[in-house]
Amino acid sequence: MRYVISLFLLVLVVSCHKEPIETVVPESLSNGFLVLNEGLFQQNNSSISWVDNQNAAVNADFFLSKNNRLLGDTGNDMQIYGGKIYVVVNGSSSLEVLEKSTGKSLKQINMFVGNTAKSPRSITFHGNKAFISCYDGFVDVLDTTSLSIVQRIQVASNPEGLAVSNGKLFVANSGGLNFPNVDSTLSVIDLTTYQEIQKITVGKNPGSVIVDQEGDIYVIARGNYGSNPSRMVRVNAINLVVEEQFPFDALGFARMNDNFLITFYNYSTQSSAVRLFDPLSETLLNSNLINTSDIQTLYGVSYNPHNDKIYCLDAMNFTNTGYVRRYSSQGVYETSYHVGLNPSKILFYE
Amino acid sequence: MKSSTTLFFFMICGLSFGQVIDQQLPEVKVTDISTEVIKVIRLEDRISILKRAAILELQAEDVGQLLQKMEGVQVKSYGGLGGMKTISVRGIGGQHTQLIIDGFAVSQDQSGQINLGQIQTENVESVSMLSGKSSFYLSPASSYAAGNVLSISTFENTFSNVKNELRLTQKIGSFGQTDSYLGYKHSTDKWFFAASGKYRMANGEYPFSVRNGSATYEGVRSNNHYQDANGVFSISRNFNNRSKAFISYRTWYSNQELPGAVILYNDHSVQTLSQLSHRIQSSYSFQLKQIRLHTFAVATISNMEYADSSYLNAAGGMFSEYINKSVNTGVNAFYSKGNGWQYSGGTEQQMSLLESTMMSVNSPIRQHNFSFVSVKHLGRIFRATAQLSSQYVLDHSAINKSSEFHVNPFVQLETKEYGKRENLEFYTFYRNSFRMPSFNELYYNNIGNLDLLPEKVNQFAIGAQHKHIKGKLNVRSKLNLYYNLVANKIVAVPTKNLFIWSMQNVGKVQVLGFDISTDIYLKFSDKSFVNSIVNYTFQSVIDVTDNTSPTYRHQVAYLPVHSGNWDVSYHFKRHGIRSSIYANSLRYSLNENTLGNKVDGFILADLSVFTSFAIKKHELRLQFSCKNILNTSYAYVRYYVMPGRNYLLSLNYALRY
């Protein structure tokens, strides 16, 4: 009996593990990059990692160490505009505005209509306004000086990616929560009146939106995850007509100087591809720029103009912590950084 | 005399506890210490069993809370009255545990496992967990084929040696909880009939705190109202002590709000779930020369409605309905000439159908046959059991048709009482079993996977138990050591992105565990005694799927390596006090054992005082409990916060004449 009790107590003592020491985060950020890790929904474990280029040290809880609180549930987008970083947190239905140079919180904006979460997804900017797509069917307009929401613009269901071209805002209406009856339109919003002026049909389940040097709008219509494949379409900036659907699979994209890096992940074969695309000539320069054999699940890509490197985000199996994998601009693997759960966005510092 | 009467009832009833009695027989000669010892938790021949007195003392809301007191069992609770509670037994998922209530198997084809938070304890006479045993005497064949068996026996469905018994329970607890139960049973040698009704509700608005960096978020659980009601009517006829017929009807209703995980900065939830079920069960047992035969039939219909008005789709919310209909029939036979050989066999046919708009197919049907044969030899030194069970499963719907046929062995060797004082026993067993994917796992829209294979389990164990009886001291200890392997583990994994998950057979899990328990009973005088029960469970449950994976040899999510209980009660005349402590070590919210996935271990302590009065045929029992007396802030599942210190007052009235 005595033995049982002492074992029981011993066990309780042994179970109190020591916590490992966190790497120090610099007061002022430079020569490195921030990674937004989405986390897993319902677990409040979205995080931001800071990676120091010099010594490759990773601070896995950058947001927490700067702000003494957690980022929240499912961070979906992170962008720099002006001197600020904007982090869109979907599950927590909040927008975190941070000081660019330090990562310290300037304001947390809770996005609700009454008690109903707006569920923000993505953010883009124009002039002194930020536009945030919200899953409840609206785009919120934020004044980047006063950091308050000044207007809501109604679009269609479950808007995702957005981009600005020629004084207009283009918003992809995914309708993802009506699966399989998804949406297939792109809302066009006049940025002088903040009114939707048109809807363009681009293909089923549109997601990411990007604009090229000429102002043409590229949208990824993700199809139905089955017979209807995920493809990129181009909308003419002037006449707002869908001019082309490209014949290669595409899921996401990022700018690399004047070109696009286009990513694709095949769910059934679990293979990844990073393509190089020239939007001026509208030709695919390389359909496999990177040897992706080191990547388990390609979850995003970014190009760093400061050091001319490509960074691929590897979500592993979605439930294990992910990696940022660095390649030369020619696509040669260089190194990996171990970051948080489901890394999806990256911001570079000179 | 008492034992033989009980045995008589069990044999005649043909209900689930026959085997318990069968194995208690050798103990009768040493268990003359006191009948009280039987009233509290005790170690009974490797069956973890909780009887009514202990159930009352623990003031558990539901069977899930009771199972946490048992060694080797890990409970996962999502919080609140009626909230989801699932179990894992010896590191194996709850889907491998067949639930038997009053000797009837409860079909779990829809979701794979039963919410133990909704099985209440007011009318429960005993709860037994069987790991590595054949099954209970004359139990349905499905229980012989399962990895583990959880058996519950209720007041309404058992013969009693009291002619008329009326039971009334009224509870009042924190967070708006009230429970009312009224049960009546009339019992004679020839027949009994029983009827009962129960209603309970709670607003579930308990305060909680979660750490958020250096700050603490203090909130009150919202959208957590709960109510349920049930009614039972049963009747049984005993013909000439040779055959018995039984029929019972049960209806059950619940309506609950689902608070979900506490999401930081967005702590609002509007989901609701309501359920209604009806069940008719009947059995007939009879003697055919030296063969005892038991036949049964069960029909169940259950309806479940889920609503989430915050779901941002075009319909303005997610509303879904599920209707599950099932029928079970079967027959069991038991034969023994009393020469040390016992033979049993049985077959059970289950048919289950699910209707829901949330399924990828219309009305999938499962036909599942379980059969078994078992031989037991009671030798001079050893007791040996060999059993074969077979399962034939036919799943079909408009778009698929698949079948499975497996034969699974179970062998067990036990020593009889060993040593000078015949106080030591050893056992070993091997069991091979599997569980089918549930309807949800196969067919649920976008998540289900028609290609799923059954999840297979191999269990090996050895163990010993020791009895020490000297004067007024009675000490029983037992030790179990086990090694289990799970293959084709069915897990939900995100496949397309974070929000699109799918069911896959991806896992291999290795379980290496042991548990020790000691039950000390010390009698001071005829009026007072102390009972102390300690158990400790060690479970290394690791992922061995792929040695290149970051989670290779990591502890599987939500299973603590260490856990244990320590209960002490002191009884003086009709009064008593009981302290109940449960502790577990840290767990991980995902299979990767990283700091970020850590979920802290916790210690829970409950304290209760109770007293009872008896005036003639009336008995009144009063109990007051303070639960989570340390006000520990804890969670079984990450961000599914549990209540802090709370109180429960209960009054039990019984009239027996």
**Residue pLDDT, tens place only, B412-449:** 998 877 666 678 889 999 999 999 999 989 988 878 88
Distance from C-alpha of A98 to C-alpha of A91, rounded to nearest angstrom: 19
Would the CB atoms of B314 and A74 count as touching at under 8 Å? no
Q: What is the mean pLDDT of residues B217-222?
A: 94
Would the CB atoms of A5 and B591 count as touching at under 8 Å? no
SS (H, E, C) B521-558: EEECCCCEEEEEEEEEEEEEEEECCCCCCCCCCCECCC
> Is the pLDDT score of B27 beyond 60?
no
pLDDT confidence tier of residue B42, bands split at 50, 70 and 90: very low
Phi, psi of B547 (to 5 degrees): -75, 0
Q: Report ipTM (2 d.p.).
A: 0.91
pLDDT confidence tier of residue A130, bands split at 50, 70 and 90: very high
Residue ranges of B 289-308 with Cβ closer than 8 A to chain A: none
**Could you tell me whether strands B148-154 and B97-101 are parallel, antiparallel, or unpaired per DSSP bridges?**
parallel
Which of B497, B593, B639 best tests the A interface by mutation, with the highest count of A CBs <10 A?
A: B497
- Considering only A187-201, A293-307, B153-167, B547-561, which range has the smallest mean pLDDT? B153-167
CB A121 within 8 A of CB A136: no
How many C-beta neighbours within 10 Å does residue A54 have?
8
For chain B, percent of residues with pLDDT exceeding 70: 91
> Is the pLDDT score of B472 beyond 70?
yes
CB B207 within 8 A of CB B220: yes
Residue B467's Cβ-side half-sphere holds a number of Cα atoms within 13 Å equal to 23
Task: Quickly tell me which residue has 């700050």 as its tokens.
Answer: B215
> Is the pLDDT score of B23 beyond 50?
no
Phi, psi of A292 (to 5 degrees): -90, 20
What pLDDT is attached to residue B32?
A: 23
Distance from C-alpha of B7 to C-alpha of B257, rounded to nearest angstrom: 44
Residue ranges of B 75-134 with Cβ closer than 8 A to chain A: none
Residue ranges of A 181-220 with Cβ closer than 8 A to chain B: 181
Q: Which residue has the higher pLDDT, B203 or B131?
A: B203
Q: How far is A119 from chain B (nearest CA, A)?
A: 9
B594 in reach of chain A (CB within 8 A)? yes
C-alpha separations of B366 from B236, B240, B400 in Å: 31, 39, 12
Q: How far is B209 from chain A (nearest CA, A)?
A: 14
What pLDDT is attached to residue B51?
A: 87
B499 in reach of chain A (CB within 8 A)? yes
User: Taking all residues of chain B, what is their mean pLDDT, rounded to a whole number?
Assistant: 87
Distance from C-alpha of B346 to C-alpha of B332, rounded to nearest angstrom: 4
Distance from C-alpha of A58 to C-alpha of A322, rounded to nearest angstrom: 12
A317 in reach of chain B (CB within 8 A)? yes
* Partners of B332 in beta bridges: B294, B346
Would the CB atoms of B549 and A320 count as touching at under 8 Å? yes
Residues of chain A found within 8 Å of residue B562, distances taken between Cβ atoms = 11-12, 14-15
> Is the pLDDT score of B37 beyond 60?
no
- Considering only A141-155, B46-60, B325-339, which range has the smallest mean pLDDT? B46-60
What pLDDT is attached to residue B492?
A: 82
What pLDDT is attached to residue A8?
A: 45
Tokens matching residue B405: 């046929």
Would the CB atoms of A69 and B596 count as touching at under 8 Å? no
Three-state DSSP at B116 gives helix
Residues of chain B found within 8 Å of residue A267, distances taken between Cβ atoms = 495-496
Q: How far is A266 from chain B (nearest CA, A)?
A: 9
CA nearest to A175 within chain B: B313
> Is the pLDDT score of A18 beyond 70?
no
User: Shortest CB distance from B536 goes to which of A8, A267, A319?
Assistant: A8
C-alpha separations of A118 from A95, A187, B267 in Å: 11, 18, 13
Q: What is the mean pLDDT of residues B235-261?
A: 92
Q: What is the mean pLDDT of residues A169-176?
A: 96
What pLDDT is attached to residue B499?
A: 59
Would the CB atoms of A1 and B536 count as touching at under 8 Å? no
What pLDDT is attached to residue A350?
A: 92
C-alpha separations of B28 from A310, B4, B525 in Å: 77, 10, 21
> Is the pLDDT score of A290 beyond 90?
yes
Would the CB atoms of A157 and B260 count as touching at under 8 Å? no
Would the CB atoms of A181 and B494 count as touching at under 8 Å? no
CA nearest to A177 within chain B: B313
pLDDT confidence tier of residue A41, bands split at 50, 70 and 90: confident
Q: What is the mean pLDDT of residues B156-177?
A: 91
C-alpha separations of A115 from A235, B265, B318, B608 in Å: 37, 11, 17, 40
Residue ranges of B 516-535 with Cβ closer than 8 A to chain A: 516, 518, 520, 532, 534
Distance from C-alpha of B425 to C-alpha of B241, rounded to nearest angstrom: 35
Q: Which residues of A278-304 are buried (b: 16+ CB within 10 A; e: fewer)?
A: ebeeeeeeeeebbebeebbbbbbbbbb
CA nearest to A321 within chain B: B592
User: Shortest CB distance from A70 goes to which of B264, B586, B597?
Assistant: B264
B548 in reach of chain A (CB within 8 A)? no
Distance from C-alpha of B653 to C-alpha of B53, rounded to nearest angstrom: 14
Residue ranges of A 37-56 with Cβ closer than 8 A to chain B: 38, 40-45, 47
Distance from C-alpha of B602 to C-alpha of B600, rounded to nearest angstrom: 6
C-alpha separations of B35 from A68, A165, B24, B529, B640 in Å: 59, 85, 14, 12, 42
Residues B295-309 have pLDDT tens digits of 999 999 999 999 999
Residues of chain B found within 8 Å of residue A73, distances taken between Cβ atoms = 263-264, 266
* Partners of B244 in beta bridges: B238, B285
Residue ranges of A 232-271 with Cβ closer than 8 A to chain B: 267
B329 in reach of chain A (CB within 8 A)? no
User: Shortest CB distance from B601 goes to which of A15, A42, A70?
Assistant: A15
What's the first-to-final CA gap in chain A, in angstroms? 64
Distance from C-alpha of B608 to C-alpha of B581, rounded to nearest angstrom: 12
User: Shortest CB distance from B595 goes to which of A19, A68, A89?
Assistant: A19
User: Shortest CB distance from B498 goes to which of A12, A92, A318?
Assistant: A318
> Is the pLDDT score of A170 beyond 70?
yes
CA nearest to B592 within chain A: A320
What pLDDT is attached to residue B20?
A: 26
Residues of chain B found within 8 Å of residue A316, distances taken between Cβ atoms = 550
User: Taking all residues of chain A, what is their mean pLDDT, rounded to a whole number?
Assistant: 92
Distance from C-alpha of B560 to C-alpha of B567, rounded to nearest angstrom: 20
User: Shortest CB distance from B214 goes to which of A68, A94, A225?
Assistant: A68
What pLDDT is attached to residue A33?
A: 97
Phi, psi of B10 (to 5 degrees): -70, -40
> Is the pLDDT score of A14 beyond 50?
no
Distance from C-alpha of B102 to C-alpha of B124, rounded to nearest angstrom: 10
A107 in reach of chain B (CB within 8 A)? no
Burial class (CB in 10 A: 0-12, 13-18, 19+), B15: buried
Tokens matching residue A320: 């294990």
pLDDT confidence tier of residue B496, bands split at 50, 70 and 90: low
Would the CB atoms of B498 and A108 count as touching at under 8 Å? no
Would the CB atoms of B566 and A8 count as touching at under 8 Å? yes
Q: What is the mean pLDDT of residues B589-611?
A: 95
Radius of gyration of chain A (CA): 21
pLDDT confidence tier of residue A16, bands split at 50, 70 and 90: very low
Question: What DSSP assignment string belongs to B329-392?
Answer: EEEEEEEE-SSSEEEEEEEEEEEEEEEETTBSSSS-EEEEEEEEEEEEEE-SSEEEEEEEEEEE
Query: A294: which DSSP letter?
Result: G
> Is the pLDDT score of B13 beyond 50?
no
- H runs (alpha helix) in B436-595: 439-443
Would the CB atoms of B498 and A74 count as touching at under 8 Å? yes
Burial class (CB in 10 A: 0-12, 13-18, 19+), B338: exposed
Would the CB atoms of A11 and B562 count as touching at under 8 Å? yes
pLDDT confidence tier of residue B211, bands split at 50, 70 and 90: very high
Would the CB atoms of A72 and B589 count as touching at under 8 Å? no
Helical (H) or strand (E) element with B64: helix B63-67
Distance from C-alpha of B653 to C-alpha of B184, rounded to nearest angstrom: 12
Angle formed at CA B254 by CA B248 and CA B255, multiple of 5 degrees: 165
> Is the pLDDT score of A161 beyond 90?
yes
Distance from C-alpha of B97 to C-alpha of B142, rounded to nearest angstrom: 10
Q: How far is B59 from chain A (nearest CA, A)?
A: 24
B568 in reach of chain A (CB within 8 A)? no
Task: Quickly tell me which residue has 């304290």 as its tokens.
Answer: B607
- Considering only A281-285, B376-380, B404-408, which range has the smallest mean pLDDT? B376-380
Residue ranges of A 67-96 with Cβ closer than 8 A to chain B: 67-70, 72-74, 89, 91-94
Which amino acid is located at A56 in the chain? Answer: A
> Is the pLDDT score of A302 beyond 90?
yes
Tokens matching residue B325: 């209909």
Residue ranges of A 6-35 with Cβ closer than 8 A to chain B: 7-8, 11-12, 14-15, 17, 19-20
- pTM (global) more than 0.80: yes
Q: Which residues of B38-71 are buried (b: 16+ CB within 10 A; e: fewer)?
A: bbbbbbbbbbbbbbbbbbbbbbbbbbbbbbbbbb
